């Protein structure tokens, strides 16, 4: 899956901006790509059926960017359409409500190596256009052992989609072959299979901005809904299953199981059980079994603050053992069951 950092067309990097009704942020996203210090960065904008005037903004840039317009099909289809025409050997997927700092592509290209499938970097968190001092992810990146962490805990520290650069060949392969990639949550699919196909590198500082503005679908922000929780369980469950599938194809030792794994997914599953989530089919598993797995996961997952660890162990035990009225009272403080 190795790739060089230049192409015959001269584009070392392509930034693919995926947009759906984020016209209020779109100009900033495009401008940050056009302002990159690395020469020849290509900007591809895929509009996924927006109805808010985004098309007029995109067309105002003329030949300085390449554009794709499609009916609303979700993030996976939008990224696939952008990757199909991208000329860069390194591909960045930028959500239209986020932005990159001017030297991001240059820094990534300088750190790139032919065995890299994915490179992670942090993102500064912005609220109301002001930097909060928070960064995503808050956990330190791993230097190695990504697949082992995924196998044991169903997760490894990684940024949202806009905090990653991918080998173009790897990104296209995953977009073409991943199963159950049904709309959004694409970052989990790409991140979890990446260690099967190459090395994951990282830059330990923020190279862009992640906006929190109330409409984010990320699990990193906002009050969660049943749909939000259920969708992310589905995406991350199948992202891990895809990684196991590709590891088996390459004869890489990896043990998967039919239930969700890890502290976060197990806790979300306990919350979703009372919310009667039906949008996607989730793995069948009982409340007590899920609660026990959640307790074990929080007890063994590294780098969790002791108070938070104990708090979530107690919460998982309560959600597994308490009667429904008490569970709902607790859950109502964390989940909006009134929204789809």
Long-range contacts: 292-296, Cβ < 8 Å, 24+? Answer: 292/320, 293/259, 293/260, 293/261, 293/266, 294/263, 294/266, 294/267, 294/269, 294/270, 294/319, 294/320, 295/320
Whether 5 is covered by a domain: the verdict is no
CB contact at 8 A, 80 and 68 = no
Note whether 72 and 203 are same-domain residues.
yes
| Run of H or E including 122 | strand 116-127
Note whether 127 and 19 are same-domain residues.
yes
Whether 200 is covered by a domain: the verdict is yes
pLDDT for the residue 7: 38
Range(s) of the domain holding residue 76: 13-212
User: pLDDT digit string (tens) for 179-234?
Assistant: 999 778 899 999 999 999 999 999 999 999 999 986 555 544 456 889 889 999 99
The rounded Cα 25 to chain-centroid distance in angstroms is: 19
Confidence class for position 91, pLDDT limits 50, 70, 90 = very high
CA distance linking residue 340 with residue 321, whole number of Å: 26
Note whether 103 and 154 are same-domain residues.
yes
Note whether 132 and 233 are same-domain residues.
no
Question: Which among 158, 183, 212 is the end of a domain?
Answer: 212
Note whether 18 and 156 are same-domain residues.
yes
User: pLDDT digit string (tens) for 247-287?
Assistant: 999 999 999 989 999 999 999 999 999 888 889 999 999 99
User: pLDDT digit string (tens) for 2-28?
Assistant: 455 543 345 799 999 999 999 999 999
Q: What percent of the chain has pLDDT over 90?
A: 84
pLDDT for the residue 184: 82
CATH number at residue 56: 3.90.550.10
Q: Which of 1, 50, 2 is nearest to 26 (CA)?
A: 50
Whether 80 is covered by a domain: the verdict is yes
Whether 7 is covered by a domain: the verdict is no
Average predicted confidence (pLDDT) for the chain: 92
Note whether 137 and 183 are same-domain residues.
yes
Overall number of domains in the chain = 2
Q: What DSSP state is assigned to residue 62?
A: G
**Looking at residues 29-35, what average pLDDT do you find?**
98
Note whether 130 and 42 are same-domain residues.
yes
């Amino acid at each position: 899956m190795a790739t060089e950092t230049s192409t015959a067309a001269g584009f070392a990097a392509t930034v693919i901006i995926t947009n759906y009704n984020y016209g209020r942020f779109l100009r900033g996203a495009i401008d940050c790509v056009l302002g990159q210090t690395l020469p020849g960065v290509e900007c591809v904008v895929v509009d996924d059926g927006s109805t808010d005037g985004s098309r007029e903004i995109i067309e105002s840039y003329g030949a300085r960017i390449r554009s794709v317009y499609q009916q609303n099909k979700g993030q996976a289809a939008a990224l696939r359409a952008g990757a199909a025409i991208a000329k860069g050997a390194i591909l960045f997927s930028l959500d239209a409500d986020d932005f990159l700092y001017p030297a991001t592509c240059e820094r990534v290209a300088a750190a790139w190596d032919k065995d890299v499938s994915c490179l992670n970097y942090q993102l500064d968190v912005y609220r109301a256009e002001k930097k909060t001092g928070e960064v995503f992810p808050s956990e330190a990146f791993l230097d190695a052992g990504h697949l082992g962490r995924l196998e044991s805990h169903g997760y490894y520290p990684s940024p949202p989609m806009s905090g990653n650069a991918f080998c173009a060949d790897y990104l296209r392969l995953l977009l073409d072959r991943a199963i159950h990639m049904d709309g959004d949550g694409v970052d989990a699919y790409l991140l979890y299979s990446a260690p099967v196909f190459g090395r994951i590198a990282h830059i330990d500082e923020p190279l862009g901005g992640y906006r929190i503005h109330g409409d984010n679908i990320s699990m990193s922000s906002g009050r969660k809904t049943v749909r939000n929780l259920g969708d992310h369980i589905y995406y991350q469950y199948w992202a891990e299953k895809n990684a196991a599938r590709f590891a088996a194809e390459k004869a890489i030792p990896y043990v998967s199981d039919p239930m969700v794994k890890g502290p976060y997914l197990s806790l979300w599953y306990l919350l979703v059980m009372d919310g009667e989530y039906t949008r996607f089919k989730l793995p069948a598993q009982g409340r007590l079994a899920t609660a026990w797995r959640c307790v074990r996961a929080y007890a063994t997952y590294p780098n969790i603050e002791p108070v938070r660890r104990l708090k979530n162990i107690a919460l998982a035990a309560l959600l597994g053992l308490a009667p429904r009225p008490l569970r709902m009272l607790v859950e109502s403080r964390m989940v909006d069951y009134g929204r789809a």
